[in-house]
Chain A
């Protein structure tokens, strides 16, 4: 296959190369040899852009630019945003404090507090916290990479220097928001997304009637839709060529339907207008819906950044292998087969498109398609089980680190890891103050947790099971040779904080995976087991790939 026809097969509609490259630029930006923006900050930025909830942040950014220009030394705001290493609250705090004595210009009254800066204009005040500055810095990076330094600098010119009013800053922010709107109008794939949306809704109505529910989006529906959309072979529309694009589209539709149903239940759709262009839509409501859907994904981001990032709980491959499962949230349990199809067959579909890009000959292409799965469902299930085992081990190792550091989170981990552990031997020894009931163990009290830590290794006091758990934890810790798992570093507070925060986050990820594994174990499949299901699905995918990429 050659030329435009091949490209047509590969490219997926709805993806703006320009916008993707700008986001990659922001994500990959380095400062002092480190990644400048944390994954959570980048994800928050993507949400603000996708939900069009950037206006408030643009206003904050303009106020910060106004202050930063005074505090940034000779280069003004440019030095403030780009001259202080990775974007962290402490870095911006230091930059502002250090420049207090030597501002570029004076005029606006700025008070530096422990939490941020208070700006007193002649016509009102504005405050910005240090914790907000990393996000505003990422927004600045996005704006400069999309709109450009020249246009951005022109907008900012109206609000720099002494004697500027709060109103003038607001006017500049409005102008900047208009620039962002114009840029996104050309680069957000809204039209393609709308087309996809109406196509999916049309299919659901046709298949299930107008009274379909979110749960009507099931494994069979998703597969049938993909087969129908790829039936035209190489001439098929670009929106739904890959099975993964179909799975993700239905997943997102299901998420959106569930969220809107929640709005209905609360009768809270008041702020949602029926016309976005007429300004009747409250973007914050959409942002809140997206935020809720995204809750399952965020733990993986938290594990990559301080303080949890100091500990390598999961490597990149392990992390990547969990992303789709976490993106699905609870929908993974209802769409377990679809998710497995996606995990097993779409990687190979990616190889087919790569082969097309390098214009592989027909024989090679056919070979790749015939061997259309790198692993079976059973392999994949075992892989998930191995990850679950690995996470159990990491949690056990984390427990040892926390016990050694006498960190209170050790107690939460013990309860989570061994919910059936008999804590009665400790009960009498831990009672403090007036008793209200004989069986109360007040684990939340700081003094109790201190006593708990004193006794945890003593079999006579804590019981044999507890002592055995701590011994297992020590063994697990000593058996891990990854970043952070070093006895010598357990005195460092950053490392202990990493175990405390990361341990609890990892626990949430592990519980989601454990629930999914149970679902796989008990799944009702069209065929009698996962092995038979794989054989049947392999025939379906092979046939469909031949149709899609070879025409028959």
Chain B
């Protein structure tokens, strides 16, 4: 039987490193409550699902995490940038401080008050025939930690139309000139 004192220095180092690796494995794969890391995190998969799936809406957990975690906001911004079908350029400040349309290459967003119901507004997205693909989601970022996601209906003849209340988050954010807008 091999004893500790006849181990070579290399073997002793191997014992030490194997002990380190096995102990680390035990630690990081331990699922018992007492060894929990404590922080329940939002994963990148959650962000991806939020950005790309029409069904996945902002919930309380994500909202709170975005409020508290600057890195998470940065990741979401990067992901929005990376996966956007189109990102609208920033608007120049209008004298009124309000915007009623945003134009880009092959796409235009207009806000139009409903004639039938004055408290409601149409958000109309017009796509040029050569616009690469019909967007499914409209994303707005009206403040550093304020994200608005709005699933879009199908386009008809290159036009997508959404009816919203004038004082809804969607319309108010679109009217703000410094809101960042992207289509996904």
Q: Given A25-B41, A31-B45, A196 and B23 touching (CB < 8 A)?
A: yes
Q: How far is the CB of A232 from chain B (nearest CB, A)?
A: 21
Interface residues of B toward A: which range?
Answer: 35 or more
Q: Is the contact region of chain A dominated by helix, strand, or loop, or is it mixed?
A: helix
- Distance in angstroms from B161 CB to nearest chain A CB is 24
Interface string of A29-44 (1 = CB under 8 A from B): 1110000100000110
B19 to A21, Cβ gap below 8 A?
A: no
- Closest chain-B Cβ to A351's Cβ sits at a distance in Å of 10
Within 8 A of A (CB), among B10-63: 10-41, 43-45, 48, 52
Of the residues A21, A28, A193, A274, contact of B9 by C-beta under 8 Å: A274
The reply on A276 being an interface residue by CB < 8 A is yes
A-binding segment of B78-86, B103-111, B119-127: B78-86
Task: Assess A256 versus B22: contact at CB under 8 Å? Given A15-B27, A82-B45.
Answer: yes
Q: Does A194 contact B (CB under 8 A)?
A: yes
Residues on B with beta carbons closer than 8 Å to the beta carbon of A15: 27, 30, 35
> Of B3, B16, B29, B38, which is within 8 A of A197 by CB?
B16
**Residue of A with least CB distance to B9:** A274
Chain B residues, CB < 8 A from A20: 27-28, 30, 35-37
The residue among B18, B33, B45, B82 with the most chain A CB atoms within 10 A of its own CB is B18
Tell me if B's interface is mostly helix, strand, loop or mixed: helix
Q: Which residues of B contact A190 (CB under 8 A)?
A: 20, 24
Given the interface pairs A260-B7, A272-B13, the reply to whether A76 lies near B82 with Cβ below 8 Å is: yes
Q: How far is A248 from B24 in the complex, measured between Cα atoms in Å?
A: 11
Would A263 and B20 count as touching, CB distance under 8 A?
Answer: no
Expressed in whole angstroms, the Cα–Cα distance for A539 and B161 within the complex equals: 76
| Smallest beta-carbon distance B51→chain A, Å | 9
A213:B22 contact, CB within 8 angstroms: no
13 A-B residue pairs with CB within 8 Å? A16-B37, A20-B28, A141-B45, A149-B44, A149-B78, A189-B24, A201-B4, A205-B4, A213-B3, A252-B23, A257-B4, A286-B21, A289-B18
Nearest CB of A to B127, in Å: 15
B-side contacts of A189, CB under 8 Å? 23-24, 27
Residues of B within 8 A of A (CB): 1-41, 43-45, 48, 52, 71, 74-75, 78-79, 82-83, 85, 132-133
Residues facing B in A183-198 (CB within 8 A) are: 188-190, 193-194, 196-197
One of A45-53, A434-442, A473-481 contacting the partner = A45-53
Whether A10 sits at the interface, judged by CB under 8 Å, is yes
Asked if A212 is an interface residue, CB under 8 A from chain B, the answer is: yes
Report whether B26 and A252 are in contact in the complex, using a CB–CB cutoff of 8 Å: yes
- Determine whether the beta carbon of A213 is less than 8 Å from that of B2: yes
Check if B41 sits within 8 Å of A148, measured CB to CB. Answer: no
Residues of B within 8 A of A36 (CB): 45
